[in-house]
């Protein structure tokens, strides 16, 4: 917002959760294009003037407190298909495109496309069978890591909780709870350091992440205070592969996590189609915000 304001680029900011109680829409189709307005208590937006949408962490629409559960389910579906569908119909650029971003969040799809584009990915098992998990751990002949398929955060007994990547205790592979849902197990990769590589419309920004604690060496998100950063240049082959991967996924933006082994091999862990970048920008000065503003403004 600050960067776009400095450029005198007009911005309309809203959360879909404001619809329908605090955000109203009136749009019509003339046989060629959609036109109309979005309006909240602060300002209104001419839909025909929209040239780009920055789409990050929208929340679900809110409805009147007295609405019955069946009516709420219907209203939420209609809001998604009507209000959400209207936004999707706008002929503008998105960062990221919601449908493409949703597809790209599937870890199995990421891994397949990454391998097809020339990236190295850890050996991986997806299972709900404890016997298969035990067999995989035996075949790997080294530490195995468990990680959730997506962010797992919540509040338990009044305390904020999160699930990060963890080295698996072999005894835990006998846990019958493995059978209750899909689990992702990977061969642990020996780390010299890690890299957050952010791509914005073909521009690559990479920073080494060095962990300063045991917890951060397993998953650096566990201990941000122990981290140090250094701008780096990825190998040309890695750069070509990440650009090819985003092109294959139809994404203008991606936040990649890599492990770099002591031998210098780059191993891709995942790509987030709307991943955070500010913590790296603040530590290194890499101009990711400016690159995103360039894309939204239409300069790239």
Domains and CATH numbers, the chain: 2-91 (no CATH), 101-120+189-297 (3.30.470.20), 124-187 (3.30.1490)
Decide: 184 and 124 in contact? Cβ < 8 Å: yes
| pLDDT reported for residue 166 | 87
State how far the Cα of 171 lies from the Cα of 186, in Å rounded to an integer. Answer: 16
pLDDT band at 150 (very low <50, low <70, confident <90, very high): confident
Average pLDDT taken over every residue of the chain: 93
Find the range with the poorest average confidence among 12-16, 43-47, 190-194.
12-16
Query: Which two three-digit tokens encode residue 37?
Result: 């307005």
Tens digit of pLDDT for each residue in 57-82? 888 888 999 999 999 999 999 999 99
Tens digit of pLDDT for each residue in 104-124? 999 999 999 999 999 999 999
| pLDDT reported for residue 40 | 92
Query: Which two three-digit tokens encode residue 73?
Result: 């389910």
Q: By C-alpha distance, which of 266, 259, 273, 206 is closest to 237?
A: 266
pTM (predicted TM-score):
0.90
Tens digit of pLDDT for each residue in 154-172? 878 888 778 888 889 888 8
Tens digit of pLDDT for each residue in 270-290? 999 999 999 999 999 999 999
Burial tier of 181 (Cβ tally within 10 Å: 0-12, 13-18, 19+): exposed
Q: By C-alpha distance, which of 261, 117, 283, 258 is closest to 196?
A: 258
CA dist list (Å): 35 to 25, 26, 146: 11, 8, 48
State how far the Cα of 143 lies from the Cα of 169, in Å rounded to an integer. Answer: 9
| pLDDT reported for residue 154 | 80
Q: Indicate if the pLDDT at residue 185 is higher than 90.
A: yes
pLDDT band at 49 (very low <50, low <70, confident <90, very high): very high
State how far the Cα of 164 lies from the Cα of 220, in Å rounded to an integer. Answer: 9
Q: Indicate if the pLDDT at residue 8 is higher than 90.
A: yes
Mean pLDDT value across residues 3-12 = 94
CA dist list (Å): 8 to 3, 293, 294, 297: 9, 11, 13, 10
Q: Indicate if the pLDDT at residue 151 is higher than 90.
A: no
| pLDDT reported for residue 300 | 75
| pLDDT reported for residue 159 | 81
pLDDT band at 35 (very low <50, low <70, confident <90, very high): very high
| pLDDT reported for residue 163 | 80
By residue count, the chain amounts to 300
Q: By C-alpha distance, which of 103, 99, 22 is closest to 53?
A: 99
User: How many other CB atoms sit within 10 Å of the CB of residue 270?
Assistant: 19
Tens digit of pLDDT for each residue in 210-232? 998 988 888 888 888 899 999 99
């Amino acid at each position: 917002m600050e960067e776009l304001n400095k450029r005198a680029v007009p911005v309309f900011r809203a959360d879909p959760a404001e619809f329908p109680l605090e955000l109203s829409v009136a749009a019509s189709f003339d046989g060629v294009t959609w036109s109309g307005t979005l309006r909240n208590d602060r300002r209104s937006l001419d839909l025909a003037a929209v040239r780009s949408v920055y789409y990050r962490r929208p929340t679900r629409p809110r409805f009147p407190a007295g609405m019955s559960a069946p009516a709420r389910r219907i209203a939420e579906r209609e809001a998604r298909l009507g209000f959400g569908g209207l936004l999707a119909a706008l002929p503008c650029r998105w960062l990221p495109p919601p449908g493409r971003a949703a597809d790209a969040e599937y870890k199995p799809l990421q891994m397949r496309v990454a391998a097809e584009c020339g990236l190295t990915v850890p050996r991986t098992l997806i299972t709900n069978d404890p016997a298969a998990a035990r067999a995989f751990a035996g075949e790997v002949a080294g530490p195995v890591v468990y990680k959730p398929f997506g962010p797992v955060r919540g509040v338990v007994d009044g305390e904020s909780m999160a699930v990060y990547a963890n080295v698996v205790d072999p005894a835990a592979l006998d846990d019958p709870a493995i059978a209750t849902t899909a689990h992702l197990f990977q061969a642990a990769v020996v780390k010299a350091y890690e890299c957050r590589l952010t791509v914005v419309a073909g521009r690559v920004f990479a920073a080494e992440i060095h962990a300063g604690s045991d917890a951060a060496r397993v998953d650096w998100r566990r201990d941000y205070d122990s981290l140090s950063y250094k701008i780096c240049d990825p190998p040309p082959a890695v750069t070509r592969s990440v650009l090819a991967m985003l092109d294959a996924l139809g994404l203008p933006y991606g936040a990649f996590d890599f492990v770099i082994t002591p031998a210098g091999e780059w191993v891709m862990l995942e790509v987030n189609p709307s991943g955070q970048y500010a913590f790296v920008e603040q530590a290194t000065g890499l101009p990711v915000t400016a690159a995103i503003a360039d894309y939204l403004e239409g300069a790239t």
